[in-house]
Chain A
Amino acid sequence: MSAPVAVEAYELTRRFGDFTAVDAITFQVAEGEVFGFLGANGAGKTTAIRMLTGLLAPTSGRARVAGHDVYTETEEIKRSIGYMSQRFSLYEDLTARENIRLYGGIYGLTDAQVRARTAELLRRLGLEPYADAPVRSLPLGWKQKLAFSVAMIHEPRVVFLDEPTGGVDPITRRQFWEMIYDAAEGGTTVFVTTHYMDEAEYCDRVSIMVDGRIAALGTPRELKERFGVESMDEVFVRLARPEAGAEDAS
């Protein structure tokens, strides 16, 4: 791979007792890439993301995020990544402005930087009229876009999005993906998990996890060609639920 590497994992493994949640996964994500991290529930995606974000120590294997080691440099990792969890991660009783200021402060932005970012962000999202209303009064779509912008407030090198579009309407999802592309164009690596296979098509490359292992890795087009199917949906079904795929084929 010619571009600089933003995230790399080599035989990264995490066991909980006898259960191997993540089983020796190996992959690389280039800088500025939109990397789709797919898998059925319980396939090990969340555990993998927790290791990459420094929340969980790996059992074995190696991994570096934004050039920092996941064993020894978790503090550096935390400073260079953004994170948006599958649950809405802003404070509902605080206003949009206050949420931005809070996370700006947490990520070490100066007061002047926070003011500038806040103004720019509110303008871009068209949130200016609602900047001082509690976030709970905003529609879900706007909340998600705001949450993404807040995760990007410190211009991280890598942003982890854990099912960012759950429960969001199709139009908002499209807008959301435009924001993701903007971020990637700005040089941020986007590491995104999703259950929507149309979203998988938007990614530069996707990996599909099955039972803790990476069962497939490549561009959406490569994967579709390899399995001889028309959509990512079919690729996913073949891999994640082989018996269902076999039924389809028969």
Chain B
Amino acid sequence: MSPLRGFVLKEFRHILRDRQTLVILLLLPLAQVVLFGFALRTDVRGVRLLVVDPVPDAATLALRGRFEATDVFRVVRVLPTTDDLAGWFRRGEADQALVMGPRFAQTLARGEGAQVLVVTDATDPNTGSTMQAYAAAVVQGYERELRAARPGTPAPGVEIVPETRMRFNPTLESVNLFIPGLIALVLTVVSALMSAISLSREKERGTMEVLLVSPLRPWQIIVGKVLPYLALGFGNVLSVLGAAWLVFRVPFRGSVLLLLAECLLFIVTSLALGVLIAARTGSQRTAMMGALMGLMLPTTILSGMIFPISSMPAWLQPVTHLVPGKWFILISRGIMLKGVGLEHLWRETLVLAVMTLLLLVAAVRSFDVRLD
């Protein structure tokens, strides 16, 4: 039996024997998929729409009809004036208001721009901009319908909110956006946190000393410790992707093989981070805190997984470059949602690969230094 093989085998035994942890590691990612998929949605449903229609006519009724026909909007009240608009928003009884200009049909018929004002409760800016985009889309749809109905006539104008098109994720399914981020998060937990804990456990229990005195080389010890977590992490990738596809029909527009290869790269990144943390900390407890605070928080907040990086303040945006999860999320979103290949993602992949290489070197070196 080669030294390394026996050592890897032992590490698998540790993992398999700690049933509770194993079950958590296998089920937690699946629970997270379901949680993120169902609960943490930024796509909106049941927007309470207030309609202000001073002089109802055929055109305003048609536009109102279009809003009611969607499953996104629910008209809560039709008001004659805008007087109480602010009150409705303040009381939280409406999310959005559609204000129609006077003489709507007449203006339209003359081919002048008719006025529509969309007022949105932007208390939550993300939801706000989503609602805004939905409303704009409905108004545009109506405009297209008008134009199609009267070909040849000069373009009838409905004053349009600047055009926004939700590309790649036309139905604005937030679960599609979350799955890549979720994989990043799960891999950070399983690969980085668990390998950090398992390495620092050896240090804490004194078995590391015995391993270091043995003929095993430091790199063999590291490889032996992290290899099982590579397998576990890869298993998690498969189960998360499988669940995402089965339950939420998340699209895989690009190469699945490329996606898996990129996942593997990111697992190695996370493992290197785990080793680095274990080498720099003295106990399981600090290693765990280090991994949670130092990795999970940035991966959740700064990776673009939940909060768009473009809406972060200018000084914070460069900081996100340092978060490996950001690059992985860019890559996996590109593959899954846009269906692009390495020709468009080589830059991100290169960044991640270089990062991984540096981390690996740092990890092995700081591990070597810890011999004294």
Contact = CB atoms under 8 A, between A and B. Distances in A.
B8 to A, nearest CB: 10
Contacts of B1: 101, 104-105, 109-111, 114
A91 B213 contact: no
A78 B371 CA distance: 14
Interface of A: 50, 53-57, 75, 78-79, 81, 83-91, 93-94, 98, 101-111, 114, 134, 160
Interface string B328-372: 000000000000000000000000000000000000000000011
A89 B207 CA distance: 5
B205 interface: yes
Counting chain B residues whose Cβ lies within 8 A of the other chain, the interface size class is: 20 to 34
Interface stretch (B12-20, B183-191, B241-249): B12-20
B200 to A, nearest CB: 14
Nearest to A16: B372
Nearest to B210: A89
B215 interface: yes
A101 B372 CA distance: 28
A81 B10 contact: no
A45 B371 CA distance: 16
Nearest to A134: B17
Contacts of A75: 215, 217
B372 A56 contact: yes
A66 to B, nearest CB: 13
Contact of A91 (B2, B10, B212, B217): B10
Nearest to A47: B372
Contacts of B144: none
Most B Cβ at <10 Å: residue of A50, A111, A160: A50
Contacts of B17: 93-94, 134
Nearest to A162: B209
Interface of B: 1-3, 5-7, 9-10, 13-14, 17-18, 205-207, 209-217, 371-372
A54 B3 contact: no
Majority DSSP secondary structure for residues of B touching A: helix
B209 A98 contact: no
A50 B210 CA distance: 11
Q: Count chain A CB atoms within 10 A of each CB in B6, B7, B9 and give the residue with the most.
A: B6
Given A53-B213, A78-B213, A105 B6 contact: yes
B6 A106 contact: yes
Nearest to B6: A105
B206 A55 contact: no
Contact of A55 (B7, B13, B212): B212
Nearest to A151: B210
Given A105-B7, A107-B214, A110-B1, 13 more contacts: A78-B214, A78-B215, A86-B206, A87-B206, A87-B209, A88-B205, A89-B206, A89-B209, A93-B13, A98-B10, A105-B2, A108-B3, A111-B1
B130 to A, nearest CB: 50
Contact of B7 (A50, A85, A93, A102): A102
B372 A55 contact: yes
A54 B371 CA distance: 9
A241 to B, nearest CB: 28
Contacts of A111: 1
Contact of B215 (A79, A84, A90, A134): A79
Contacts of B213: 53-55, 78, 81, 83, 160
A106 B214 contact: yes
A86 to B, nearest CB: 8
21 contacts: A53-B213, A57-B372, A75-B217, A78-B214, A78-B215, A83-B209, A84-B210, A85-B206, A87-B209, A88-B206, A89-B206, A89-B209, A93-B18, A94-B10, A101-B1, A102-B9, A106-B211, A106-B216, A107-B215, A114-B1, A134-B17
